[in-house]
A and B are shown apart, each in its own frame.
Chain A
Amino acid sequence: MSSLAVRKAAPAAGTTPGTAQGPPLRRRIAFVPTLTLLLGALYCLLPVAWVAIAATKSGRELFSTFTFLPGTGFAENLKDLNAYRDGVYWKWMGNSALYAGLGALLSTAVSALSGYALAIYRFRGRETVFNVLLAGVLMPPVILAIPQYLLLAKADLTDSYASVLLPLVLSPYGVYLARIYATAAVPGDVVEAGRMDGASEWRIFTRIALPMMIPGLVTVFLFQFVAVWNNFLLPYIMLSDDEKFPITLGLFTLLEQGANAPALYTLVITGALLAVIPLIALFLVIQRFWSLDLLSGAVKS
């Protein structure tokens, strides 16, 4: 993280403590900004607070008691969710973890290789390769997903784990970030020194460059993890066997059935709460380590 911290300008005045003989406390707090931010936080937390409370309500309480009044049915709801179709809910969670974890790992590896190559080497067609890869960002997923489905159907690969994993491995945004990060973090003379010592290009990459790129690659991994975990369109198109569904698609089908059987609504709500907990926990943990400065690097380039 340190290399990024160095590049960052001195923290803005907002984070520096007041001067020694500063004004009294009342004047030291900026009320309007603090209040604005608190209102923003309230708005952003409202649905999360709602789902946490709604998940404690039994089906009857959900439609009859005041919204933010906790109910008595949480244990019951959990039991129903566990029992629903022999615990298919947990299968969905597991699938999401697999798609997002493995997918993001593969994606980060490909991004690291390509980003490093585009940043370090001077070769013919470098900018063309980069621009063509970047144009991928602009492709609406649906123009890709439907022909991907039809082509995978010809290879008899639809409705499989691979059909959701593979199309997402190449992430143009990941390659873009990895290139910027390699440019900033891997000095050209270090690579040159490695060559002088007779190391192969592959060895220079794995032993010297890769460790230097790790903080940036963590960011690429997390971006891709969230992108795959949140993806809906691709599994929606590719999968029909609900044993392979990720959690987004699973909850969606549950909601769709709930339109005819409102008893399922409590399951949807409890399921939604449990589905956001892992990602929120992940965020709370990683935000300590995750340097979002990489984004500003991306912005400034």
Chain B
Amino acid sequence: MTSARRKAYGVKGAPYAFLLPATILFALFFALPIGYAIWLSLHKVQVKGLGLGSGARSEVWAGLENYTDALTDSELLHGALRVLGYGAIVIPVMLGLALLFALMLDTDRVRLAPFTRLAIFLPYAIPGVVAALLWGFLYLPDVSPFYFVLDKLGMPQPDLLDGGPLYLALSNIAVWGGTGFNMIVIYTSLRAIPAEVYEAAKLDGATPLQIALRIKIPMVAPSLVLTFFFSIIATLQVFSEPTTLKPLTNSVSTTWSPLMKVYQDAFGKSDIHSAAATAVIIALVTLALSFGFLRTANSRTRQEEAR
């Protein structure tokens, strides 16, 4: 009797014990920093007198002051608009290419599929900083093969690292780095579709294009939703690529993306309080977008299941 009860107790305690390391790490490196960021965002530094001597600088309650400052800061708004423009290029192009390649890999009688699949997936292994660095050099007129070709053809040579083309240059780095991973996600779920599903359509004489549009794409919709979701989050957080291009051009400011502004406020200007407020705003926007998106995606699938 007692041993049985002890065993039951052991089973009951076990999941909590197994989850202990994750819980401690979560508390230390997620919950505590988030709490601290929120606390910082609601405070500011008050300087007494000349700000000399100990106790002259103290942190006082600021209410929502940091937030109103951040939201009325035109630089943050411009950064958000830049990232919006960047995302409007990156996400459709990257996911479009990923879906296209996945469908092509899944076609009958395609050749060299293992090689091309690996080649397209390869950029996933290359750090964003290194990717930006490689492309950055390829954008430099003195080094770039594109300029060489344009020059030979006698065509005008745009400055890829300035103005509108800068968006394309940055987007290209993200598309290059992200297409392969998304292609693999979509391709794996394409392969999970049982072959019988196509048989009937094939017997009815459906073309490969019809099969792709009417059967394959609807069936991989959940993985498209997932890749879209992760792409949005990654786009909102763009940081290392523009930061890496910065030394190569004057057109990328230190506040090009909202996250770069947060970094600049915190470490460039040592204004951790407004940096915290901006970071909290970005986090809230990310969370709102994510939940809104997941909700619509969920209700969509539920509607479809109900049908």
Which residues of chain A are within 8 angstroms of B283 by Cβ–Cβ distance? 138-140, 143
On whether the beta carbons of B222 and A299 are closer than 8 Å, the reply is: yes
Tell me if A229 is interfacial: C-beta within 8 Å of chain B.
yes
**Contacting B259 at CB < 8 Å: which of A142, A247, A259?**
A142
Interchain pairs with CB closer than 8 A, number: 308
Contact partner, A147, options B15, B18, B37, Cβ 8 Å? B37
Is the CB of A9 closer than 8 A to any CB of chain B?
yes
Is the beta-carbon distance between A36 and B188 smaller than 8 angstroms? no
B134 to chain A, nearest CB (A): 4
Say how far B133's CB is from chain A's closest CB, in angstroms: 6
User: Is the beta-carbon distance between B275 and A33 smaller than 8 angstroms?
Assistant: no
A129 touches B19 (CB 8 A): yes
Find A38's partner among B116, B121, B192 (CB 8 Å cutoff): B116
Does B135 touch A at the CB level, under 8 Å? yes
Which label, helix, strand, loop or mixed, suits the secondary structure of the B interface? helix
Q: Do A148 and B33 touch across chains, with their CB atoms under 8 A apart?
A: yes
Task: Give every chain B residue within 8 A of A63 (Cβ-Cβ).
Answer: 142-143
How many angstroms from the CA of A66 to the CA of B113 in the assembled complex?
32
A255-B133, A275-B130 are known contacts. Are A282 and B125 too (CB-CB below 8 A)? Answer: yes
> In the complex, what residue of chain A is closest to B216 when comparing beta carbons?
A12
Shortest Cβ gap from B22 to chain A (Å): 4
Q: Which of A110-149 contact B (CB under 8 A)?
A: 110, 113-114, 116-118, 120-121, 123, 126, 129, 132-133, 135-144, 146-148
- Which B residues from 10 to 31 make CB contacts under 8 A with A? 10-12, 14-16, 18-19, 21-23, 25-26, 28-30
Name which of B55-63, B153-161, B234-242 contacts chain A. Answer: B234-242
Q: Does B191 contact A (CB under 8 A)?
A: yes
Q: At the interface, yes or no: A251 with Cβ under 8 Å from chain B?
A: yes
Nearest CB in chain A to that of B26: its residue: A170
Please give me the residue from chain B that is nearest to A233 by CB atom. B239
Interface residues in A1-60 (C-beta closer than 8 Å to B): 8-15, 18, 28-30, 32-34, 36-38, 40-41, 43-48, 50-51, 54
- Whether A44 contacts B286 by the Cβ 8 Å rule is no
- Is B195 within 8 A of A138, CB to CB? no
Closest chain B residue to A39, Cβ basis: B116
Q: How far is the CA of A275 from the CA of B134 in the complex (A)?
A: 12
Q: State whether the Cβ of A83 lies closer than 8 Å to any Cβ in chain B.
A: no
For residue A177, CB closer than 8 A to chain B, the reply is no
Q: Does B110 contact A (CB under 8 A)?
A: yes
CB<8 Å pairs between A and B, sample of 30: A9-B194, A12-B106, A12-B191, A12-B193, A30-B110, A37-B116, A40-B116, A43-B176, A66-B148, A109-B21, A114-B19, A117-B15, A126-B15, A132-B26, A136-B30, A140-B236, A143-B282, A146-B276, A151-B36, A230-B128, A232-B243, A248-B127, A248-B240, A252-B129, A252-B133, A258-B247, A283-B118, A296-B192, A296-B223, A299-B188
Contacts A14-B107, A140-B279, A296-B223 aside, 11 further interface pairs with beta carbons under 8 A come to A37-B117, A45-B119, A47-B138, A67-B143, A143-B280, A146-B276, A147-B34, A151-B32, A202-B14, A249-B129, A269-B137
